[in-house]
Chains A and B, each alone.
Chain A
Amino acid sequence: DTAVSQTPKYLVTQMGNDKSIKCEQNLGHDTMYWYKQDSKKFLKIMFSYNNKELIINETVPNRFSPKSPDKAHLNLHINSLELGDSAVYFCASSPSLNTEAFFGQGTRLTVV
């Protein structure tokens, strides 16, 4: 069983479109995250949810909106996609804030 799974693995879309990435964890963790990894492999936290409550909301465009329907799911919706949004997006979960995070396999988003 995959601990943290995200879909899709690859996403190619045109500028201006709206897309969603889904994430689910079966580890029973309270905290979930979205990270963005750019072309230089730099990882930056975007959002963190703890028990469905938004805890960390880094400086990302308002076009990015996370949704946590329950503790096991944290989806990422992106409106009006831009070329600069192309990156690999990782979902992760951890037992609590600031403990080790377990990562999904990533979603490679390419905006053309």
Chain B
Amino acid sequence: AQSVTQLGSHVSVSEGALVLLRCNYSSSVPPYLFWYVQYPNQGLQLLLKYTTGATLVKGINGFEAEFKKSETSFHLTKPSAHMSDAAEYFCAVSSGGGADGLTFGKGTHLIIQP
């Protein structure tokens, strides 16, 4: 079984400040990890993913995330927030070679203060 915990259902940062969205996972096998963004009334868009290899992965829109196996974490960061980053962010895990599909966290609503 696999699960994802996103700490903080709402995160508020000032424009230009660092964005940090936290994600911890549980998986009995080496995981694949994903971050998605959802803008209002739209579908989910893949920001970045980790499967194997380099633990620091870069995604679109200036986001990056680091896989830390010892901490079972995959936190999402962006050095400088833009107003356009305001959205819902979802962390997801899959069990690599398994057949469970993606399991999503409950999402974090990112608010950008002007």
Instruction: Give the A-B pair count, Cβ closer than 8 A.
Output: 62
* Residues 47-98 (chain B) with a chain A CB within 8 angstroms: 49, 51, 88, 90, 94-98
Asked if B114 is an interface residue, CB under 8 A from chain A, the answer is no
Q: Which of A42, A45, A48, A92 contacts B106 (CB 8 A)?
A: A42
Asked if B101 and A106 make an inter-chain contact with CB atoms under 8 angstroms apart, the answer reads: no
CB neighbors of A among B16-55 (8 A)? 32, 34, 36, 38, 41-46, 49, 51
Give the residue name and chain of the B residue nearest to A48 (CB): B101
CA distance A55 to B102 in the complex (A): 13
**CA–CA, A56 to B38, complex, Å?**
24
User: How far in angstroms is the closest Cβ of chain B from A39?
Assistant: 12
User: Using an 8 Å CB-CB cutoff, how does the interface string of A84-107 with B read, 1 for contact, 0 for none?
Assistant: 000000101000011111111110
B100 in complex: contacting residue of A56, A100, A105, A106, CB < 8 Å: A56
Of B36, B42, B46, B102, the contact of A98 (CB 8 Å cutoff): B102
Q: Which A residues are in CB contact (< 8 Å) with B100? A: 56, 98
Instruction: Tell me, rounded to whole Å, the shortest Cβ–Cβ distance linking A46 to chain B.
Output: 10
CB-defined A-B contacts under 8 Å, sample of 12 = A42-B104, A42-B106, A43-B44, A92-B44, A98-B97, A98-B101, A98-B102, A100-B49, A101-B44, A101-B46, A101-B101, A106-B43
